[in-house]
Chains A and B, each alone.
Chain A
């Protein structure tokens, strides 16, 4: 058990809809990362938050947004969903220090199916 909790584990919805994925990082971790895993794109970095602030952005679509709340949990919002958004969405957390070794702790993912 990594200590990172993601909900829901599975989600089925229709095209055009909006969903919210939630992540609770490990206790004490300030940094949250979101990744998307799909068959054709592999594991793609979406976005990172550190202590409530956006720190880095990757291949995140404009239809997607995220935030990190004062209690450090994070939410990834996916809107105007398309079939191609079907994927496994991972959240990971880490303690970001001056000499971060880069190890991330991953949740078990939220599997999104868009029909």
Chain B
């Protein structure tokens, strides 16, 4: 079975500083990996996805993630945090059976200090 582990439940950064949200995955196959973001009282929105093309994936709002097979990692980064980035971020793997259901990590809450 596929799974993801988000290594930090909370990350706090100052506005304008880099963001790093860590995720490790476990998969028997070449996985499809995603980062989703959830703002307060909102649904989940796709930030970016990796589906075995380029290992460095660019997403919306300046976020990017790098797929590293040797480290089984898919960390999310952003060079400069903005106040509007404060939200919960989920690392997600797609099940490789016919359902394609998503398996979510436990989430990382990003706090951005002014």
Residues of chain A at the chain B interface (Cβ within 8 Å): 2, 4, 31, 33, 35, 42-43, 45, 48, 55-56, 58, 90, 92, 94, 96, 100-109
A105 to B41, CA, bound (A): 16
Question: Which stretch from B19-27, B61-69, B76-84, B92-100 is at the chain A interface?
Answer: B92-100
A55 to B101, CA, bound (A): 10
| B43→A109 contact, CB < 8 A | yes
A-B contacts, 18 listed (Cβ < 8 Å): A2-B45, A33-B101, A33-B102, A35-B104, A42-B104, A43-B107, A45-B101, A55-B99, A56-B95, A58-B101, A92-B102, A94-B100, A96-B100, A102-B49, A102-B102, A104-B102, A106-B36, A106-B43
Interface residues on B, range: 20 to 34
* Residues of chain A lying within 8 A (CB to CB) of residue B41: 108
Question: Nearest Cβ in chain A — how far from B59, in angstroms?
Answer: 12
| B43→A56 contact, CB < 8 A | no
**Chain B stretch 30-51: residues in CB contact (< 8 A) with chain A:** 32, 34, 36, 41-46, 49, 51
Question: Nearest Cβ in chain A — how far from B70, in angstroms?
Answer: 23
Residue of A nearest to B41 (CB): A108
A90 to B92, CA, bound (A): 16
Partner of A56, one of B32, B36, B44, B99: B99
| B49→A103 contact, CB < 8 A | yes
